[in-house]
Structure 1
Amino acid sequence: MDLTSGPITKTLILFALPTLASNILQTLSGSVNSIWVGQFLGEGALAATANANIIMFLMFGAFFGFGMAATVLIGQSMGRGDIDAARRATGGVIGLALLFSVLIAVVGWFASDRILRWLETPPEAFTLAHDYLRVTFLAVPASMLSVTLMMASRGAGDAITPLRFMILAVVLDVVFNPVLILGLGPFPRLGIAGSALATAAAGTISLIGMIAWFYRKNHVLRLRGRELSYLYPKWSELRFIIGRGLPMGAQMFVISGAGLVMIGLVNREGLVTAAAYGATLQLWNYIQMPALAVGAAVSSMAAQNIGARRWDRVSAVTTSGITINLAMTGVLIVLLLLFDRAALALFLGSESPAIEVSRNIQLIATWTFLPFGTTIVLISTLRANGSVVPPLIILFLSMFPIRFGIYHFGYPLIGSDIIWWSFPLSSLASLAMAWVIYRRGNWRGPMPQPA
C-alpha cells in the first residue's frame, strides 16, 4: 500500500486490520496448543511449556528492537522512493537475525538445563521442559527470520503477505500438534517434544513459502544478484539498527519485568486472587490487540510520510490512530464488561469464587487500555523518526516508580484494590508524559541515516 497519499483514516484501518488479525491468530494458536498439551499430557507438560515460552519471549523481545529499527529505516526509505536503501535495510536486519538466532540456538541447546534451573522449574516438569525447550531452540532461526521478514514487509506497506503466512503457520501448527504428540497415522508418538516440533515445522514451512512468494511476486524487498551482498550488513547500518534497536528491545524487558513483579504482588493475596488475575490477563490479551496493531500501523505509515517529508500527514496519522484505537478498544471494553461473567467462566468454571474477584478487577482496571492505547500510538509516532530513548524512559517511570509507588502508598489505605487502581493511574501518567514529548519534544526533523 502507498501510505503517503490518499485518505488517511481509511488507509490506516485497512493497513492495521491484517496486523490485528495476525495477532489474534497467533494468540489463538498458543491457546489451542496449550489445550492440546494440557489435555493429552497433563499439568506437568503444561507447566513445562509455560517455562519454555517465558524464555522464548525474552529471546524474541531482545531482537524485537532491532527489527523495529530496520522497519523504520525501510518505511522512511520507501517514503523517499529509495528502494535500494529499503533493500539494504532488509538485508542488514535479515543477516543480523540469522547470526543472532543461530547463536541463540547453539547456546540454548547446551544451556537449556541451566536456564531451567535458574527459573526454578518444578522437578516434576523439568524433564518435559528440557525436551520441549531444546526442540524450541532448534526452531529459533526459522522463527526469528519469519518474524523479521514480516516486520520488514509491514515497513514497506505490505501487511497482507505477513497475514497470509501467519494463517498458514497457525493452521499447520494446530493440525501438527495432536498428530506429533500422539503419534497419529505413520508418525511416531513424540509427546511434548512433538508439540515443539509441530510449531517448528509449521514455522519453517511458512518461512519457505513466504520467501518463495517474495520472489514469485517480485516483492519490493526481494534481493537478487549483487543485492544478496546486503545480507552482510555494513558497520554503519549495524550501528544504526543496534543503536536504535537496543532501547526498543529494552522497552520489552521493562514491560516483562514489571509484569513479573506484579504477579509476585498478586500472589501475596492468595490463590483465589492469583487465579482471578490469571483469568483477567487472558481477556486483557485480546483487549490490548487493537492498540498494538494500530500502533504498528501508525509507526509504518508515519515513517513513510516522514521519508516523503509529509509532516502534515504525520500529525493526521497520529490523530487518526488515536481515534481508531479509542473506538475499537472502547467497543471491546464494553463487550467484556457486559459479558464478563460468561467469559471468565471459560477459564475459571462457573462456580469459582475467583469470578467475583476477577469482575472487580475488570471494573476497576479494564479501562486502562484507553490511555494505554493512546500512549502506544504516540510512542509509535516518535519511534517512526528514530526517537527511541524518551519512550523507554516513559515506560520505565510509569511501570516502576509510579505504578509500584502507587501500590506502596495506597495499600495501607484501601488494601489489595490498589493493585488494580495502579494500572489506570500509571497509564494516565505515561499518557501525560508521552503527550508532552509528542507536542514539545525535538523528535521532529530529518533522522540521521546510515552512511
Structure 2
Amino acid sequence: MNTTKLDYSVSALVRMSWPVFIELLLQLLVGNMDQVQLSHFNETAVAAVGNANTVITVVQLTFTVISMAATILVTQYRGAGRMEIVGQIYTLSLCVNGILAAALAGCLLAFTEPLLGLMQVPAELLGEAAIYLRITALALPFQALMLTFSAFLRAGAHMKIIMWITGLVNVCNIVGNAVLINGWGPFPRLGAAGAALSSSIFRAVGMLLMAFAFFRVVQGARVSFSDLNPMPWSLLRRLLAIGLPAGGESLSYNLSQASCLVFVNLMGTYVVTTRMYTAMFANCIYMLVMAVAQAGQVLVGYLVGARDMDGTHKCTMRVLKLSCPITVGLAAVVALAGGSLFGLFTVDERVIALGQQVLIVEVLLEVGRSVNIVLVRHLQAAGDVRFPVVLGIVCQWLIGVGLGWLLGVYLGWGLIGLWVAFAADENIRAVVLFGRWMSGKWRTMKTI
C-alpha cells in the first residue's frame, strides 16, 4: 500500500469495506448456519448450540488479542517504512496464538460439563451443548491460525482474498451440515454433533487456504523460527501492550453477554431460543459498520505510522458518517420485518411475538453500537488502547449486566429488560468515546 498518497476518501473506504463486509457476514454464517440448519432438526438443538457458541465466541476472542495487535503493528511499521520488523511480527503472532489455542482447547475438553453447569444450561440442552462444545474445541488451533493469517492479509489490504476464502468455507460448511445433521447416504443422522464436525473440518480447510494466500500474495511474507532466536521479548511485550487492552474490550463485552445468558437460561427454553435468533439478526445488522471500521482501522494504522494525524481524524469522521446512518436504518428495516424473519425459523408464536418486541429496542441499541465499533477500533489503531477497555468494563458490567438484572430479572421485564439495559450501555459509551476522540488525546499517544 502506498503510504505517500494514502487514499481515505469515501470511495476508497467503500472499495476496502465491501469485501470485509462479505467476509464478516460469511464468517458469521459459518457459526450461525449450524443453528439455522438445526432449526429444522429440533428446537432444543438450536438452544443448545446457542449456549455452546457463546463459550466458543469468548474463547476465540483471546486469539484476537494477538491478531488485532499484529494488524495494528504491521500497518504502523509499513506506514513508517520499517519492513525489517514485520517478519518477526508474523512468526511471533502465529506461535503465540497456536500455543494459546492448544491450551484453551485442552481446558474446554477437560471442563465441559462444569462450565455449562455454571451457565445454568437447562438439563434438556446439556447433552447436545456438551458434544457440540467438545468437537468445536478440537478445532480451536485451526481457528486461531486462520484468524492470524487473516489479520496478516488484512494488514496488507488483501480484503478480497479473505472474502473469497471465507465464502468457500461457508459454502462447504452448509453442504457438510446438510449431510451430517440429518444424515445422507452412508452418513448417520448426527444432529448438533454433525454441525460441530462440519464446521470444524472446514475451519481447518480455511486455515490452510489463508496460509497459502499469505505466502503467495503478501509482500515480505516470511515465517521463520530463527526470528525467535533470540526471543524478541520487546516485540512480544509490544504485541501484548496493544493486544491485551484492545482484545480486553471485546472480551469484557462477550463475558458480560455470557453472564446475561445465565439470566436468560432462567427464563425458559423459548426465551433462550428467542435470544439466539435475535442475536443472529443483530449480528447481521452491525456487520456493515464492523466492515467499514476494520477498513478504517487499517488506514488509520498507516496514517498514524506516517504521523499524519489530521488525515487520521478526517478518515475517522468519514467512517462514522458513512456507516452509522446505514446501520441504524438497516436495524429499523429488520424491526419492521421482524415477524416474517422469525417466521422463517420457528412456528412458536411466543418466540415470534417476543422477538418482534426485542427488535424494536435493537434499533435504539444500534445507534450507540455503530459509533462504538468505529471509535474503539480507531482509538486502538491510534495507540489509545487503555481508555476503551476501562470504559467498556465499567459500562458493560454496571449497566449491561447490573441494569439488565434489575430490569430483566428483578422487575420481571424478561428479555426486553435485558435489551433495554444493553441499549443504555451502548449509547452511554458512544457519547463518552466520541468526546474522547474529539479531545485529541490520541494524537499524543506513543505508537511505534
Q: 2:226 aligns with which of 220, 224, 229?
A: 229
Question: Does residue 17 of the first structure (1) align with residue 18 of the second (2)?
Answer: yes
Matched positions, count: 444
CA contact (8 A) 2:293 2:374 kept: yes
Match of 1:215 in 2: 215
- What does residue 328 of structure 1 align with? 326
Q: Matched residues in 1 for 2:268 and 2:112: separation?
A: 31
Aligned counterparts of 1:26 and 1:298: Cα–Cα separation in 2: 19
Matches within 5 A, 1:141-156: 141-156=141-156
Aligned pair in 2 of structure 1 residues 125, 397: CA closer, same or farther (>3 Å)?
closer
What SS is found at the alignment partner of 2:375? helix
- 2:93 alignment partner, SS class: helix
Which residue of structure 2 aligns with residue 392 of structure 1? 389
Q: Distance in 2 between matches of 1:142 and 1:409?
A: 40
| Correspondence for 2:433 | 434
Shift of 1:151: 1.6
Structure 2 residue aligned with 1:302 = 300
**Offset of residue 307 of structure 1:** 0.7
Deviations 1:250-307 (A, max 9, x none): 2223212332444455677777766655543332121121222222222111011111
The alignment yields a C-alpha RMSD, in angstroms, of 3.2
Q: Quick check: 1:136–1:197 contact (8 Å CA) kept in 2?
A: yes
- Cα deviation, 1:344-402, whole Å, max 9, x if unaligned, reads 333453x7255444434333441321222112212211100232210012212322334
Q: Is the 8 A contact 1:180 1:191 kept in 2?
A: yes
Offset at residue 49 of structure 1 (A):
3.0
Report the more deviating stretch, 92-101 or 366-375.
366-375
User: More deviation in 71-80 or 227-236?
Assistant: 227-236
Aligned AA (2:29): L
Q: Where does residue 293 of structure 1 map in the other structure?
A: 291
1:29-68 equivalence runs, <5 A: 29-40=30-41, 42-68=42-68
Going from structure 1 to structure 2, the CA distance change for 1:337 and 1:203 (only over 3 Å counts) comes to closer
Q: Which amino acid aligns with 1:141?
A: P
Structure 1 residues 81 and 50, CA, compared in 2 at 3 Å: closer, same or farther?
A: same
Deviates more, 1:382-391 or 1:155-164: 155-164
Residue 80 of structure 2 corresponds to: 80
Cα displacement (A) at 1:13: 1.6
Change (3 A) 1:184 1:142: same
Pairing 1:188-267 to 2, within 5 Å after superposition: 192-217=192-217, 219-223=218-222, 227-230=224-227, 234-263=232-261
How far 1:102 sits from its partner (Å)? Answer: 2.0
| 3-state DSSP of counterpart to 2:344 | helix
Tell me the SS of whatever aligns to 1:443: helix
Judged with a 3 Å threshold, the aligned counterparts in structure 2 of structure 1 residues 381 and 137 are, in CA distance, closer, same or farther, namely same
Structure 1 portions without partners, runs of 5+: none
The answer (yes or no) to whether the contact 1:255–1:399 under 8 Å persists in 2 is: yes
Please give the residue correspondences for 1:334-345 in structure 2 after superposition, counting only pairs within 5 Å: 334-345=332-343
Quick one: distance in 2 between partners of 1:269 and 1:190? 28
Report sequence identity in percent. Answer: 24
Describe the superposition over 1:319-360 as per-residue Cα deviations: whole angstroms up to 9, x where unpaired: 1110111232133123224323322333453x7255444434
1:109 aligns with 2:109: yes
Alpha-carbon contact 2:30-2:199 (below 8 Å) kept: no
Structure 1 window deviating more from structure 2 (153-162 vs 277-286): it is: 277-286
How many Å apart are 1:63 and its aligned residue? 2.2
Distance in 1 (alpha carbons) for counterparts of 2:102 and 2:252: 25
Corresponding residue for residue 313 of structure 2: 315
Counterpart CA distance in 2 for 1:255 and 1:423 is 10
**Alignment partners' CA distance in 1, 2:253 and 2:141:** 24
Deviates more, 1:185-194 or 1:161-170: 185-194
Distance 2:9 2:194 in 1: 46
> Hey, what's the Cα distance between the residues in 2 that align with 1:99 and 1:269?
38
Q: Supply the distance in 2 between the matched residues of 1:68 and 1:347 (Cα, whole angstroms).
A: 34
Q: Which amino acid aligns with 2:427?
A: L
Closer/same/farther in 2, CA of residues 173 and 2 from structure 1, 3 Å limit: farther
Deviations 1:108-167 (A, max 9, x none): 334434444444555555444444333322211111100111122212222122112111
| Whole-angstrom CA distance in 2 between matches of 1:204 and 1:174 | 15
Question: 1:8/1:203 Cα in 2 relative to 1: closer, same or farther (>3 Å)?
Answer: same
Quick check: 1:153–1:221 contact (8 Å CA) kept in 2?
A: no
Within 2, Cα distance between the matches of 1:407 and 1:106? 33
Quick one: structure 1 residues 335 and 378, their matched pair in 2 at CA, closer, same or farther if it must change by over 3 Å?
same
1:378 maps to amino acid: L
Aligned to 1:369: 366
Residue identity matched to 2:344 = L
Give the structure-2-normalised TM-score: 0.87
Q: Distance in 2 between matches of 1:267 and 1:122?
A: 7
Query: What is the alpha-carbon distance in structure 1 between the residues aligned to residue 375 and residue 361 of structure 2?
Result: 24
Question: Take 1:191 and 1:282, find their aligned partners in 2: how far apart are those partners?
Answer: 20
Inter-CA distance 362–377: structure 2 relative to 1 (3 Å threshold): same
Name the CA distance, whole Å, in 1 between partners of 2:189 and 2:66.
38
Contact 1:75 1:86 (8 Å CA) reproduced: no
SS of aligned partner of 1:6: coil
Partners of 1:95 and 1:231 within 8 A in 2: no
> Conserved in 1, the CA contact under 8 Å of 2:50 and 2:276?
no
Q: Distance in 2 between matches of 1:195 and 1:355?
A: 25
Q: Secondary structure at the match of 1:309?
A: coil
Q: In structure 2, what residue type is equivalent to 1:161?
A: I
Q: How many angstroms apart in 1 are the aligned matches of 2:244 and 2:58?
A: 13
C-alpha contact 2:375 2:434 (8 A) present in aligned 1: yes
